[in-house]
Amino acid sequence: MFSVIKRFGLTALVTSMVVGCVSFNEEDIPVGEVQNTSATKIINSSRSAEAGSLLIKFNERAALAFESAKASADVVTRSGIEPLNAALHEIGATTVERLFPINPKFEERTRKAGLHRWYVVRFDSSEQLEKAAKALAEVEEVTIVQYNSILSQQPSAVVPADIAPTTRLTVDKVNDPGFADQWHYYNTGSGIHEKQVAGADVNVKEAWKYTTGDPSIIVAVIDEGVDYTHEDLAANMWVNKGEIPNNGKDDDGNGYIDDVYGYNHQSADGKISWAEKGDSGHGTHVAGTIAAVNNNGTGVCGIAGGDGSGNGVKIMSSQLFSGKSKGNAEVSARAFKYAADNGAVIAQCSWGYDGGTMTSDKDFKLRAGAEYDGILYFQSVKNSDVLDGGLVIFAAGNDSLYMSGYPAAYRDFISVASTACNGMPAYYTNYGPGTNISAPGGDMKNHGDKGGVLSTLPNEIARSGYGYMQGTSMACPHASGVAALGLSYAKKLGKKFSLEEFTAMFLLSTNNIDNTMKNYVEEKYYDVYAGKMGSGSIDALRMIMNVEGTPCVNLPKGQLAMIDLRPYFGDGTLDVTIMNNTTDSSLIISDEDKERLGITNGPRINNGKLIITCEKSGHAIINVSCVVGGKEAGSDDSMGGRVTTKRLAIIVRDGHATNGGWM
């Protein structure tokens, strides 16, 4: 079965978690991997699926047939291929439409990704869903049948904040009154809770000395709608300049009508909503953490919200949830495609499936169908000079479970766990396999309302327009914000990275959370998390430093050197495993550099230490691989860490100045 999907904000004052942890049902696993029988073509469960629709991936022949039919009719219900027509007739199909609308500008890459073969088949909701799926699965031209799983929302409690400029302190140069309560950015060690710890934050104040954002970096908030009219967000909203608002036309021809600030994929129109009955302000809260406008004397700060001169990163609202109207797999898939085709570089996703309902990447790939394809498409699209693909960041989940939920846990996405104002794991966070990194998400159960994350909220939700929430949902945008800040700095420096390179830098821009736990009083409560919170707690300044350049390692000449590489991989975090070079790919140095430095044996890596002897002085580059978030790399069959490679410069001399100076 494909379990329900939910946002990861938490009911703040509810002590017993109401997370519906849907158990895994063996009967729901598709039998076998070969999708050449009607049974194996159906990839997920009809449980929690929308009635009256199915997502179908056709083969190329059928896709072309439908395109041909569409050219001569507005509403298409038949393909021109007889067995397929018969099946469609049998289920009473009323429409057969492409899942991903045509955007002529990007149709070539859409087809290359195979997304043009995904269709939504609609029929009367009284039709038995399983029967319809089976009928279509038996047709040769159908390659995948996916039930349109309904996305379920977890109620998220909000504690409104009273932010008035006259009652809050200004911190240094930042004049946003709420900044003093945003411990998650700058934790002074007092004012929130007696157990808060100075420095248990994302260290953004130091990073702001280098950059505060760049408007060319667009972050898609795939969530509830973002209140684009909010006083502290409006200036940092992405605006589709090719679209004329509310004229009922697709002015820019991107396949979406009136999509000015994004698109409401739930209601299939450009009307972004944030205060429907059932909305919690989740999307607006998340957006504020990334890019609330800084230094405007109003409200709160955002990690990459600029300095008040209009230079913050931009927020695109690719709306997935809307009030009580539940989304589905169709909506989710479209949200990623839309974000990719309209310029987003980061997909911020504070939602996922119940922890434990999928336990391997193979499970996820097999069942996520169109959604998986949509996310992969997002990753493949280059929307910025500084990054050659899209960065996908998910919340790990709030099930207090010893493994990350999916999609976060998938090895090519980033899974974010949550910490509290004392730097410790938040009581609800998922951790363990699949978890890549940690960030502040707050803990209002143990540290009071102010122990939550303070950010923007729609005025309809909180009169002041600001409030506290907690969850891995709140940790996730901290990671997205820091990533956006890193990309902004790369833009400033004119640097360019591959997705792989940047992800490696990002995951290694951390502080050691395990040492913190070891030193933290005698509460054994935290033992269970040791080594399982990913690479550590994200640090914006480390991100900036990593973007700046390749770390330089000084080596002595003519001596056996054993250099502990761990400080170059984040902050010596225990859940970064520097791979021993038992394989050729774990440590690479060119033969030319080896000869130049007089290296006759090795180098090699053992227990995180570079062991090397250089007989000649000189300089070279080495590439070292490591596993982030585990001891072994994840695979289709097992959850594990992510393999990343870090580039290090080495300078060999007889004696180095201890301050790093050349002379």
Residues at the interface with another protein (CB under 8 A): 197-201, 203, 206, 423, 492-495, 511-513, 515-516, 519-520, 537, 539, 541, 545, 548-552, 557, 571, 596, 616-619, 621, 649, 651, 653-655, 657-663
Q: CB of residue 648 vs another protein: minimum separation in angstroms?
A: 10
Q: Please, which residues have CB within 8 angstroms of residue 7's CB and are 6 or more apart in sequence? A: 153, 154, 156, 223, 224, 280, 282, 321, 350, 351, 473
Helix (H, G, I), strand (E, B) or coil at 219: strand
Closer CB to another protein, residue 322 or residue 511? 511
Q: CB of residue 493 vs another protein: minimum separation in angstroms?
A: 5
Structure tokens at 568: 């170059």
* Count of CB atoms situated within 10 Å of the CB of 565: 22
464 CB burial (10 A radius; 0-12, 13-18, 19+): middle
Residue type, 558: G
Q: CB of residue 507 vs another protein: minimum separation in angstroms?
A: 18
Q: Hey, which residues does 649 pair with through a beta bridge?
A: 552, 621
State the DSSP string of 476-524. Answer: HHHHHHHHHHHHHHHHHHT--B-HHHHHHHHHTSEE-HHHHHHHSTT-G
For residue 570, report the phi and psi dihedrals to the nearest 5 degrees. 75, -140
Closer CB to another protein, residue 201 or residue 330? 201
Residue type, 233: L
Closer CB to another protein, residue 30 or residue 556? 556
Q: CB of residue 357 vs another protein: minimum separation in angstroms?
A: 33
Closer CB to another protein, residue 390 or residue 423? 423
Residue pair 483/436 in contact by the 8 Å Cβ criterion = no
Residue pair 263/223 in contact by the 8 Å Cβ criterion = no
Q: Hey, which residues does 610 pair with through a beta bridge?
A: 563, 605
Closer CB to another protein, residue 353 or residue 526? 526
Taking CA atoms, 487 is separated from 353, 501, 555, 643, in Å, by 29, 12, 31, 21
Closer CB to another protein, residue 244 or residue 560? 560
Q: CB of residue 182 vs another protein: minimum separation in angstroms?
A: 15
Kindly tell me the sign of the dihedral angle through the C-alpha atoms of 329, 331, 332, 338.
positive
Closer CB to another protein, residue 517 or residue 579? 517
Closer CB to another protein, residue 291 or residue 544? 544
Closer CB to another protein, residue 120 or residue 576? 576
Q: Please, which residues have CB within 8 angstroms of residue 211's CB and are 6 or more apart in sequence? A: 485, 488, 489, 492, 544
Structure tokens at 612: 């090397």
Return d(Cα 69, Cα 78) in angstroms, integer. Answer: 8
Q: CB of residue 641 vs another protein: minimum separation in angstroms?
A: 22
Chain-centre distance for alpha carbon 154: 19
Closer CB to another protein, residue 13 or residue 552? 552
Could you write out the three-class secondary structure of 417-444? EEECCCCCECCCCCCCCCCCEEEECCCH
Closer CB to another protein, residue 167 or residue 662? 662
259 CB burial (10 A radius; 0-12, 13-18, 19+): buried
Q: CB of residue 654 vs another protein: minimum separation in angstroms?
A: 4
Return d(Cα 379, Cα 257) in angstroms, integer. Answer: 24
Closer CB to another protein, residue 530 or residue 649? 649
Q: For residue 320, what is the DSSP state?
A: E
Q: CB of residue 35 vs another protein: minimum separation in angstroms?
A: 46
Taking CA atoms, 505 is separated from 314, 392, 491, 502, 646, in Å, by 22, 15, 15, 5, 7
Q: CB of residue 149 vs another protein: minimum separation in angstroms?
A: 40
Q: CB of residue 275 vs another protein: minimum separation in angstroms?
A: 38
Taking CA atoms, 367 is separated from 21, 80, 637, in Å, by 18, 29, 14
Structure tokens at 373: 């394809």
Closer CB to another protein, residue 209 or residue 241? 209
Q: CB of residue 206 vs another protein: minimum separation in angstroms?
A: 6
Q: CB of residue 393 vs another protein: minimum separation in angstroms?
A: 22
Q: CB of residue 449 vs another protein: minimum separation in angstroms?
A: 23
Closer CB to another protein, residue 398 or residue 573? 573
Q: CB of residue 513 vs another protein: minimum separation in angstroms?
A: 8
Nearest to 348 by CA among 262, 454, 249: 262
Helix (H, G, I), strand (E, B) or coil at 387: strand
Helix (H, G, I), strand (E, B) or coil at 552: strand
Q: CB of residue 81 vs another protein: minimum separation in angstroms?
A: 55
Residue type, 405: G
Closer CB to another protein, residue 210 or residue 263? 210
Structure tokens at 479: 């990671």
